Structure 1
Amino acid sequence: MENHIATVQQAIAAPIKATIEKAIIENEIEHLTKALDDDSARARPLFDRVTYHRSQLNEFAFYKARNAEALSPGENTLFLIGLEVCRDLNCQADHLTKQMNMNSARVEELKAELQKLNSEVKSEEA
């Protein structure tokens, strides 16, 4: 009799547990997807700024080289500051890209886990 009660309890608890696990996974997927969207929205302007600043620096350096002019000490300082700004923006963009890649990989893991859980629930229902 106790075995039968335990079996019934397990049969009742399994779908409830699976439903709760599915809800948790779906919530995490939703949260990570929103984070990916937010990070993507923040990353695009960073990449645009890096591209803009680099093109400005390249244009300036090309102009100076074409005219066979050396950089003055002030221009050299500004050029180095510009390079530092680009490096900093690149670091920020790289960090966001890494974070987005990790979140994207985690979303894929969760989707696979959810698929597996859905398969288990369907097999239990059958």
Structure 2
Amino acid sequence: MTFEENIKKWVALDNNIKHINEKLKELRNNKSELEGSIQHYLDINNIENPTIEITDGKLKVGVNKIQSPLTYKYIDQCLMNTIRNEDHVGKIMTYIKDNRDVKVEKTIKRTYNK
């Protein structure tokens, strides 16, 4: 394939991916709305952790605990609460920030004319 053919094919694939992602976003939003309705029904009827039989398996309703991400701000606060020495905490935070692994990748990004 020539360079131009590769570019045309790349753009066509990118268009297809964009269209599919838009459709996927719409499907996820619809699913989320239905999930809210189902949860509301279960809540008002005091049904806790049911298992609902469906044609190809089961729906299990439960609770997930989601932890917040480890941010620099959170790490800094935790270190200040335990070490209580601003200079030491500052040095530790600088070390953590300066020694993180950096991954470099070459990419092709598409921009759209306005």
Decide: shared fold, TM above 0.5.
no
Query: Quick check: which one's helix share is greater?
Result: 1
Q: Which structure is higher in RCO with an 8 Å CA cutoff and minimum separation 6?
A: 1
Query: Quick check: which one's strand share is greater?
Result: 2
